[in-house]
Structure 1
């Protein structure tokens, strides 16, 4: 550790003793502009996601939101602890039917994608406000003193705090947040970020030769969260994106990380004292929030203190180029592109080269088999019905299907985005057409327009469709073989019952 890193760490500790402790909270609270706001706020009809919600700060936030009438989705790793926490929250807040548990390990890409699909599917089943999301709180994380790799091969602290638990989940949620007025994305960071700039990618991901240090791995991820929120604030001005610090609070995480050393952090805050400033970020008038800032107890804070006499200095700052590199690599790693060879091997799927005649492609298509989205799973009698609007370039899509004995309809609108008419951008309609522009690639179409194969760029989903409710087995096998040749994992294909 260099001198100025040592200075930053020392000044962080001294600053923390004044501001992060219970004494600091009491001092800050005396200056609150609206001290009664949290007592009077009404959140009926609002929707929030809180990660790491079965204990500590996350549970405290979830309980407050539910008590004030909100619909709360608790993303937790342990089913047993999550259900116990949910029962306590429901009982305390008379919140039956408004508190929901979603299970996921947020250090895993697959879990984050699955749990987001589950949230969207559940909201869509609730009615016309299916994409309504007032706030996302990225609170979950892990601090390990020894280097630990997840089952996907990524260092645990980096994966849980920054890569998947914040970047990927926030990226997936952003279209819904943008579609909701006065929405906000709140990232629970830490004063630990004062100890370091965001380092080289090898050090941040623990893939280089440097000796692993759990405390610095945590600080790197937390500094990354601060930089990420700054970038997102510029990229998504419709959403209030802020990072924050709960202060030195008595939580299970602090107990596990510091043990007897936590005496240096005393007097520790209570859970409520650590959580209420974060709650304020969720419920205050959005106009009062400064997007991109780092908050403690309702006020923006300095982000650096590595200079002499508590000045910012430069040792913990990153250049614009370093931040741009971080954002680019987060995007790559969050989408399973973790080395140059793999990036070539996993080149995105492209639409077919042969153009189609769009009018001939219109009409009814029966889904014979698919690699299902979460929304498709367990459905039957799936039919896509296409029609052109007056412009001849916009396709109106009626997707009908059955869940059990109930018939369902999902309307969508597709913009044709290439001259060959084989690449579309689809927006689902849930009360209104939401601006998701999901990729829709026609990768195969029979000359007589009797069958087609539809895919998405990362090959995660696939639809084999025909003009008739059934296909001869040999024809279906032929289409599955074509799909395999295009790089789809055909072991994931399921056949869709057509009973009508």
Structure 2
């Protein structure tokens, strides 16, 4: 495991770039959703994709913050084929709102080419829980994103009917903490059923294993529809996920953190690399900053083989079933 961990702490510079691989004007007619797009790596990805001419929905809780992010992007660039940037309300902390968010999108769009499930929480030492009393990390990072993704399946399927093979994708977000903090087998349900977080690092890491499990299971279920599903670790980045950490700890940790724009290269690679497609590394794991390579936890691959990804998918469905 040491090799994979080391390579993700100190990844090589990104070689997959917007200028070379997703050039200006290349995505006209495409429709994207990026969750958590008003800050961090989601915002950096929007900036990269703005010259491509796509229609991009920035999904988040605060319309005011998203509007400010959109203004920042528009004011900073004047491309020949600018993307159309739109706000989409999405509150992953409250399952009662998720179907409404997907419905609001469906009113405006018949298809969806790429969904980046980028938004998430982590690092609160006091613990957290969702409005439905689900452990906060797995509820916000896994249960609500799966419901959102399931609700958008008709638009993904519609896009896949006419899009180039392998270009319709769902991108899930993992973390290096999968390797370093997740329990054996990845998910221990007895802790998730207690509502509030009981051990922040373990529970956050479990939610990131959950994202990997959902990526693999989505591939198994929807590859027949022409949909690619992959999971990526964007890298150790200077984002708000560390906002709850002590100053002294952050002074040390900052030596190992990278700028968010580098993590956006991982998202970009996951969305557009030709290294994945239908029957070609679908369900694969992507390391920073755009490297298709295995996760370092062999026990988690064994868990997937034993059906744990299917089990976790079903557990998530049980959590959100009352709100569908």
TM-score of the superposition, structure 1-length normalised? 0.56
Query: For the aligned residues, what is the CA RMSD?
Result: 2.8
Match of residue 264, structure 2, among 235, 254, 275: 275
Alignment CA distance shift 1:46-1:268 (3 Å): same
**Counterpart position of 1:158:** 138
Residue 32 of structure 2: SS of its match in structure 1?
A: strand
Q: 2:76: which partner in 1?
A: 92
Question: How far apart are 1:251 and its partner, in Å?
Answer: 1.6
Counterpart residue number, 1:102: 88
1:144-185 Cα offsets, whole Å, 9 max, x none, are: 222322222222211110000x21111112221122122000
**Counterparts of 2:7 and 2:254, CA distance in 1:** 10
How far residue 276 of structure 1 moved from its aligned partner, in angstroms, is 1.0
In structure 1, runs of 5+ residues without a counterpart are: 1-7, 124-130, 306-311, 338-457, 459-500
1:147 aligns with 127
Contact persistence 1:106–1:160 (CA under 8 A): yes
Alignment of 1:64-75 (within 5 A): 64-75=48-59
Distance in 2 of aligned mates of 1:93 and 1:45: 20
Alignment of 1:453-472 (within 5 A): none
CA displacement 1:279-306 (0-9 Å, x = unmatched): 122233464962101102332222234x
Query: Does the Cα contact within 8 Å between 1:67 and 1:92 map onto a contact in 2?
Result: no
Larger Rg: 1
| Equivalent position of 2:293 in the other structure | 301
Q: Is the 8 A contact 1:57 1:274 kept in 2?
A: yes
User: Secondary structure of the residue that 2:303 maps to in structure 1?
Assistant: coil
From 76, 83, 90, the counterpart of 2:60 = 76
Taking the TM superposition and a 5 Å limit, the aligned residue runs for 1:290-369 are 290-296=281-287, 297-305=289-297, 312=298, 314=299, 317-318=302-303, 320-336=306-322
Deviation (angstroms), 1:96 = 7.2
- Superposed counterparts of 1:56-71, under 5 Å: 56-71=40-55
Does the 8 A contact of 2:187 with 2:209 survive in 1?
no
Q: 1:191 aligns with which of 160, 176, 185?
A: 176
Aligned to 2:153: 174
Q: Distance between the aligned counterparts of 1:97 and 1:270, measured in 2?
A: 24
RCO greater where, 1 or 2, for CA within 8 Å and sep 6 or more?
A: 2
Alignment partner, residue 192 of structure 2: 204
Mapped to 2, the partners of 1:199 and 1:302 lie a distance apart of 19
What's the TM-score, normalizing by structure 2?
Answer: 0.84
For residue 8 of structure 2, what is the aligned residue in structure 1?
A: 19
- Where does structure 2 lack aligned partners over 5 or more consecutive residues? none
8 Å contact 1:41–1:283 — kept in the other structure?
no
**Structure (1 or 2) with the greater helix fraction:** 2
Q: Distance in 2 between matches of 1:225 and 1:258?
A: 27
Higher strand share: 1
Which one of the candidate residues 207, 217, 222 is aligned to 1:231? 217
Q: Is the 8 A contact 1:141 1:161 kept in 2?
A: yes
Within the candidate set 4, 21, 42, 2:26 is matched to 42
